[in-house]
């Protein structure tokens, strides 16, 4: 009798586990947004970033794409951040999306952009450039500099973002290359003071 009860309990447990796995698979495949909420709540940043990419693939929505790129970057999934970030920057609605973000005090709800005081376009280009740098993609510097306007150098721009990442990696050679590219810029007005301060600090770091 005891063996029968134990066997029944094991079969029941196996059925429960099988059902749980089935439901997990269904939600992962058909309802990735649910998995984003679950994994985010559990602090599973890598899994949350992966499901965020899946959400974008289902919706093709620019907001979902931006969130996927951002989550991938901060989860250190730089390959995904670089790949989908390049798609984000090439979208026709990227500029309009960033303009809408800036109207909401610098970010779309649910993204870290809402917590930074820079232009959203510079922020996202910076993320993409840094991800390309982290994955060894040579276009990283060109990506960052492409975000600058004609002789403009706004605070916290994509080049500053990229340089900060390179400095954190103690990559003085790369920082020197950025410094060389900066020598061709001639910002004016308020941008000049920020440009001069940043350039001087970067030069000091490279010389140290």
Taking residues 153-173, what's their average pLDDT?
A: 96
CA distance linking residue 83 with residue 94, whole number of Å: 15
Q: What is the DSSP string of 58-83?
A: HH--HHHHHHHHHHHHHTT-HHHHHH
Q: How many helices (H) and strands (E) does the chain have?
A: 11, 0
80, 72 in Cβ contact below 8 A?
yes
Per-residue pLDDT tens digits for 101-143 = 888 765 555 565 555 668 889 999 999 999 999 999 999 999 9
The full set of domain ranges for the chain reads: 62-207
The residue with greater pLDDT, 173 or 32, is: 173
Residue 18: per-residue pLDDT: 45
If residue 127 lies in a helix (H) or strand (E), which one and from where to where? Answer: helix 120-134
pTM of the model: 0.82
């Amino acid at each position: 009798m005891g063996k029968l009860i134990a066997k029944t309990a094991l079969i029941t447990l196996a059925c429960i586990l099988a059902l749980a796995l089935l439901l997990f698979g269904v939600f992962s495949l058909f309802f990735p947004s649910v998995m984003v909420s679950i994994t985010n709540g559990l602090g599973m940043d890598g899994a949350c970033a992966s499901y965020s990419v899946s959400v974008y693939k289902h919706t093709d929505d620019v907001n979902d794409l931006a969130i996927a790129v951002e989550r991938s970057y901060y989860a250190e999934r730089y390959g995904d951040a670089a790949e989908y970030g390049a798609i984000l920057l090439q979208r026709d609605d990227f500029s309009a999306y960033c303009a809408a973000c800036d109207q909401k005090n610098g970010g779309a709800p649910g993204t870290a952009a809402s917590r930074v005081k820079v232009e959203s376009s510079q922020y996202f280009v910076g993320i993409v450039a840094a991800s390309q740098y982290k994955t060894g993609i040579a276009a990283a510097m060109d990506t960052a500099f492409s975000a600058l306007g004609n002789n403009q150098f706004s605070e916290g721009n994509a080049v500053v973002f990229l340089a900060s990442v390179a400095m954190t990696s103690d990559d003085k050679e790369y920082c020197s290359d950025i410094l060389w590219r900066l020598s061709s810029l001639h910002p004016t007005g308020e941008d000049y003071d920020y440009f001069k301060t940043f350039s001087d600090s970067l030069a000091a770091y490279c010389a140290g």
